[in-house]
Amino acid sequence: MISIGTREFLLQVEQVFFGKWLLESIIFLNENYNLNLSATILSRSPDKFRESAPWLFKYDNINFIEGDVRNFTCEGVEFDYIIHAATDASVLLNRTNPSLMRSTIIDGARRICEFASQVNCKRILFTSSGAAYGPQPGISAIFKKPL
């Protein structure tokens, strides 16, 4: 079990839905359990977050920085945990610019690991979309069965 109180998180998310859910979870935990969690969100487009979730910008413990996961800088900080939950993974990008997609995935993961060592990060959580795994055989049959 990991002790959570008074922790700093770096979230690298591009899916606004997933990012909002994570941030709203942190807000809920702080307001209901006084955990004093803080989050810094690395995003290529913080304005996209602001358009879809302006209420998230009113919390002092949530900060946004703009940058590319492959080469971002964030100096003078420490993060206990990093959640790497973003890659601009799309069929269109893979068709039109596969080298950019590979670079974002590989160089982005490398940069997150380098950054983690610089900021004394205790743990990193890497996530991926289902697009990374492709179609899964038989998965739809599992969900069609009644419980």
Tell me whether residue 1 is in a domain. no
Whole-angstrom distance, CA of residue 54 vs CA of residue 63: 13
pLDDT > 70? residue 12? yes
What's the chain's Rg over C-alpha atoms? 17
Residue 88 counted as domain residue: yes
State the total domains in the chain. Answer: 1
- Please tell me which residue, 4 or 11, carries the higher pLDDT value: 11
Q: How far apart are CA 14 and CA 44, in angstroms?
A: 7
Mapped onto helix, strand or coil, the DSSP state of residue 11 is strand
| Residue 37 counted as domain residue | yes
Q: What is the pLDDT of residues 97-111, one digit of tens each?
A: 889 888 888 899 999
Residue-wise pLDDT for 34-83, tens only, equals 988 999 989 888 998 889 889 999 999 999 999 999 999 988 888 999 98
- Quote the percentage of the chain above a pLDDT of 90: 33
> In this predicted model, which residue has the larger pLDDT, 16 or 1?
16
Domain limits for position 126: 8-144
Q: Is pLDDT of 3 > 50?
A: no
> Is 84 exposed, middle or buried, given 0-12, 13-18 or 19+ CB atoms closer than 10 A?
buried
CATH number, residue 119: 3.40.50.720
Q: What mean pLDDT is reported for the chain?
A: 82
Please report whether residue 2 resides in a domain: no
Does 3 reside within a domain?
Answer: no
Angle value at C-alpha 100, between 98 and 103, nearest 5 degrees: 110
Q: Is the pLDDT of residue 120 over 60?
A: yes
Q: Is the dihedral of CA 114, 118, 124, 127 positive or negative?
A: negative
Task: Note whether residue 36 is domain-resident.
Answer: yes
User: What b-and-e string marks burial along 85-120, b requiring 16 or more CB atoms within 10 Å of the CB?
Assistant: bbbbbeeeeeeeeeeebeebbeebbebbeebbeebe
